[in-house]
Copies of this chain bind each other. A is one copy, B any other.
Amino acid sequence: MQLGLSVSDSDVSSFTPLVVLELADDTKAEAITWLLNRIRDKQQNGGAELLVNQLLFPAQDDQKPNPNVFLVGSTLQRLLNGAEDVGLFKEFQDGTMRGFTYANRESFKDFNGDGEGVLSDAECQYIIKHELDTLRAKNEEHVPGYPKLKLYPGKSVVRRLQSKGVLIQYFPLHNKEDLKRLSFSWYKKFKLSFQPLDDIRHYFGEGLALYFGFLEYFTFALVPMALIGIPYYLFDWEDYDKYVLFAVFNLVWSTVFLEVWKRCSATLAYGWGTLSRKKAFEEPRAGFHGALGFNPVTGREEPVYPSSKRQLRIYLVSVPFVLLCLYLSFYVMMVYFDMEFWAINIYNENPDIATSILLFVPSIIYAVVIEIMNLLYRFAAEFLTDWENHRLESSFQNHLVLKVLVFNFVNCFASLFYIAFVMQDMVLLRQSLATLLITSQILNQVMEAFLPYWLQRRRNKKVHKRMRRLMGDKELPLLGQVQLETEMNTYLGTFDDYLEQFLLFGYVSLFSCVYPLAAVLVVLNNITEVYSDAFKMCHVFKRPFSEPATNIGVWQLAFETMSIIAVVTNCALIGLSPQMKAYFPESDTQLILIVVTIEHVLLAFKFILAFVIPDVPKHIQVNLAKLEFDSLEALKKRRRALGR
């Protein structure tokens, strides 16, 4: 089967392939012809006006890889037009960031001669993705060859093919040269330095670059805490004043650094042109379904699903389910503590080797159960959020994040809360905190980078072997690369990476006055985390599409909430400490009142601080105001030129 132009290694030069499109291998020929025609068709006719070719495998291949792999590229002019469509902001000649327009293309900073240099690879791929996503059905009633794949005017073709499994995946290709350069400046040198955030953003887009920016910032922000924490560990400081001092410093510091991060991320986002960029209208998710109706905003025909029904599903099913899971998590924790006591009792009655080994059994079982519960819950949360039938990917993500966040928080910290506030055993708290922190760090690094890397290496070897068998020792750059990347795992977004940092922040801040060394451990963890995350992005996963982002979104809120909870827990811990109690031997009441007062003052201070520190640095505010002023003035001028 060979449709239209095709790419083999000989005529690759006809265009630079940027995006790979993989259809199911039993896709009907007429559907493929139709899809390729729609993609190639002129924009006036409602096509995407992109270049697309089939990837041809040598005939003698006996392992039969999927033949329906297509490469998508574009002319430069189409990309520049597309850049205006998606509303990219680029650096203007005068150094400010302005919305890119094709008409003014020559006034942008990196524009030279033929237009190369303005758009990064990742931006080109993002534009192609946008054009593919907004390729809409005209008057076709269904996908040719598939009477059941109904279409209606305005429906995104790609979304429909995707939701029915005809389009298996589409992803951007790696650029081997750029990747080499990036990975060298990023993690292949052993000199400590800042991460090349601009290069990361160039290659992977703003969303991922912001994650790495946050990771770096968070790690640096923890260094002062770590430095102050070390003497506590070395000199075994146990005085109450010192702990109080440390806790207060921690609480204020965590507020300040979260506020300052907003300014940093605004600065980054301004420099990357995402801060002033207007959000494009999101297409409905591939899985969104509903009765056909009219979108009140665009007036287009599309499935509509009443938000009251969604609210009912959320509040009557999802919320009770989450609460039930939380209850279950508490229940498992209580069983763990029962087992723990039972093991200790047996050991105390009969202290020998067998029973001393038995002492570890409950912890191990509990740790395993927690992991299993997290996994099961994640599936359930994804299923439920999907069933809630959110129209937009962003609202789907927010609801998923919230569900997972609450459960993981409880699952990870419930036992610590129980030890701290019900058992009030500070020594055990310190031990459990250290154990949990260290094990979760080790587990994370293994599960997140080394395991996928090992699996990927096995797969690579298989592909390489097959290639070598096929073509002898000739290099097969494009064919081999596409085949390799098609089989790589898909990077599912920054969710898990942020979640990990969120939990680490919890370990550092919630009980900071009991275990000042936590910050040191997290700093050490994050230094390796930068390397393993960078490595996994470059070599373990498929290249992800660039995600424009102006901030870390819902995670900012999550971190801020954690820092508020930390105020409450730390104040309570200080109130419970025996050193503090010794100050008020005659009455608990006075002690509690003082602690509660301090807590309220700290909380008020946090809010005032958050209010006083502006979220966007002054010079960026000025630049944004200038942009707006200029566009207003231009409007006025145009109006006057029209003769009034």
Q: Which A residues have a C-beta under 8 Å from some C-beta of B?
A: 81, 84-85, 102-103, 278, 281, 296-298, 307, 568, 588-589, 592-593, 596, 600, 618, 622, 625-626, 628-629, 632, 636, 639, 642, 644
A636 to B307, CA, bound (A): 30
Selected A-B contacts with CB under 8 Å, 7 pairs: A102-B639, A103-B642, A297-B622, A297-B629, A298-B629, A568-B600, A589-B592
A18 to B250, CA, bound (A): 61
Contacts of A636 in B (CB 8 A): 85
A297 to B278, CA, bound (A): 21
Contact of A588 among B281, B589, B632 (CB under 8 A): B589
Contacts of A102 in B (CB 8 A): 639, 644
Give the interface centre of A103, A297, A588, A629 by most chain B CB atoms within 10 Å.
A297
| Closest Cβ neighbor of A599 among chain B residues | B596
Given A568-B600, A593-B592: A626 in contact with B307 (beta carbons within 8 A): no
- Copies of this subunit: 2
- In terms of DSSP, what is the predominant structure of the interface of chain A? helix
Contacts of A278 in B (CB 8 A): 628, 632
Smallest Cβ distance from A323 to chain B, in angstroms?
A: 14
A636 to B298, CA, bound (A): 14
Contacts of A296 in B (CB 8 A): 622, 626
Contacts of A618 in B (CB 8 A): 307
A430 to B74, CA, bound (A): 77
A87 to B307, CA, bound (A): 34
Contacts of A600 in B (CB 8 A): 568
Smallest Cβ distance from A304 to chain B, in angstroms?
A: 12
Q: A102-B639, A298-B629 are in contact. List 5 more A-B contacts (CB 8 A).
A: A81-B644, A84-B639, A103-B642, A296-B622, A568-B600
Smallest Cβ distance from A636 to chain B, in angstroms?
A: 7
| Closest Cβ neighbor of A568 among chain B residues | B600
Determine if A297 and B568 form an interchain contact, defined as CB atoms under 8 angstroms apart.
no
A628 to B87, CA, bound (A): 14
Smallest Cβ distance from A196 to chain B, in angstroms?
A: 30
Determine if A297 and B626 form an interchain contact, defined as CB atoms under 8 angstroms apart.
yes
A217 to B538, CA, bound (A): 58
| Closest Cβ neighbor of A611 among chain B residues | B557
Contacts of A307 in B (CB 8 A): 618
Contacts of A644 in B (CB 8 A): 81, 102
Contacts of A281 in B (CB 8 A): 625, 629, 632
A639 to B642, CA, bound (A): 19
A102 to B593, CA, bound (A): 65
Contacts of A642 in B (CB 8 A): 103
| Closest Cβ neighbor of A77 among chain B residues | B644
A139 to B84, CA, bound (A): 41
Contacts of A588 in B (CB 8 A): 588-589
| Closest Cβ neighbor of A642 among chain B residues | B103
Contacts of A639 in B (CB 8 A): 84, 102
Smallest Cβ distance from A395 to chain B, in angstroms?
A: 12
Smallest Cβ distance from A639 to chain B, in angstroms?
A: 7
A598 to B209, CA, bound (A): 42
Pick the 3 closest A-B CB pairs, nearest first. Answer: A297-B625, A588-B589, A296-B622
A628 to B278, CA, bound (A): 10
